[in-house]
Amino acid sequence: MKKVLAIILCLSLVFAFAACGKDAKKSDAKKTESQTDVATTAVKTVKDGKLIMATNASFPPYEYHEGGKIIGIDAEIAGEIAKKLGLELVIEDMEFASIISAVQADSVDFGMAGMTVNEDRLKEVDFSISYANGVQAIIVKEDSPITTVDDLFAEGAAYKVGVQLGTTGDIYSVDDFGEDLVTQYTTGNEAVVALLGGDIDCVIIDNEPAKAYVANNKGLKVLDTAYADEDYAICIKKGNTALKDAVDVALEELIADGTVAKIVAKYIK
Ligand code: ARG
């Protein structure tokens, strides 16, 4: 009798495990179909129901003002992420150099501003997976004696460089040419105005905004040679893994299904 009971017990355990296994597989299958498990789990944000993004909207084609709205590649990708998380996107425009502190202070949920991932910033914030590549480029006047990046580094060269405050262009230029030769402007556009006015000899800034500034101003060109290659990502408060994981899943899906490429192609012809 005991033996029979033991056998029945064993068998029911085996069946129970098998059933669990099946269930696990079923939900695994669901996950790969829509992959929104993490993204749809409610994440806590600064303001309930909203996803607040800090940016600096003077950076076409990533973020800029048009028709009373902030539009661009970052704004649209952020809109898609918010949709996946079931939240309403709110964009706050501020100085580029203030974005990281706004993220740290919990006054916004994340920063997205064509922001390059680098070692120093990684000490202050976490970054999502990368969604784009950037290149630091050089804008000069059409008749400039500067024709390649190397000209800036030539013996005895002392060209005046303009940058946007707090950007990687700023950090690299100060490193390479020294503080005295580098002027920091609040926006890239102000640096371009200074270049046109003859205050500086070149502007070092990301390639796509550089092209946009040149397209909007006569007498300027972007040098063919690049100054540095970088990856753009979204910055999130250190340790906010719930939001970071949700953003990463959403971004992975948006990259995989071609949404990111479609948005980029809309703004970069
Ligand atoms: N990629 C550069 C950086 O991270 C410049 C970004 C400037 N972005 C902006 N929205 N103004 O430092």
Q: Hey, which of 121, 167, 229 would you mutate to test ligand 1's pocket, going by the most ligand atoms within 8 Å of its Cβ?
A: 167
Ligand 1 atom closest to the Cα of residue 121 is 4
Distance 265 CA to ligand 1 centre (A): 20
Residues 131 and 249: their CA atoms lie apart, in Å, by 12
Decide: 267 in ligand 1 pocket, CB within 6 A: no
Pair of tokens at residue 122: 């990684």
Ligand 1 atom closest to the Cα of residue 96 is 11
Cα 11 to Cα 1, 8, 132, 261, distances in angstroms: 15, 5, 55, 53
Distance 116 CA to ligand 1 centre (A): 7
How many C-beta atoms lie closer than 10 Å to residue 162's C-beta?
26
Q: Is the pLDDT of residue 254 over 80?
A: yes
Summarize pLDDT for 119-155 with one digit per residue, the tens. Answer: 999 999 999 999 999 999 999 999 999 999 999 999 9
Residues 173 and 179: their CA atoms lie apart, in Å, by 8
Decide: 61 in ligand 1 pocket, CB within 6 A: no
Decide: 56 in ligand 1 pocket, CB within 6 A: yes
Q: Is the pLDDT of residue 226 over 90?
A: no
Summarize pLDDT for 32-73 with one digit per residue, the tens. Answer: 333 455 555 679 999 999 999 999 999 999 999 999 999 999
Percent of the chain's residues with pLDDT above 70: 85
Residues 47 and 63: their CA atoms lie apart, in Å, by 23
What phi and psi, each to the nearest 5 degrees, are found at residue 231?
-115, 135
Chain centroid to CA 268: how far? 16
The pLDDT value recorded for residue 29 is 35
Side-chain half-sphere CA neighbours of 134 within 13 A = 30
Residues 232 and 134: their CA atoms lie apart, in Å, by 7
Percent of the chain's residues with pLDDT above 90: 82
Contact of 210 with 202, CB cutoff 8 Å: no
The pLDDT value recorded for residue 178 is 97
**Residue 227: band (very low, low, confident or very high) from pLDDT cuts 50, 70, 90:** confident
For the ranges 43-57, 109-123, 215-229, 243-257, the lowest mean pLDDT is seen at 215-229
The structure tokens 């920063």 sit at: 111
The structure tokens 């003077």 sit at: 58
Task: Collect all residues with Cβ–Cβ distance below 8 Å to 34 and sequence separation of at least 6.
Answer: none
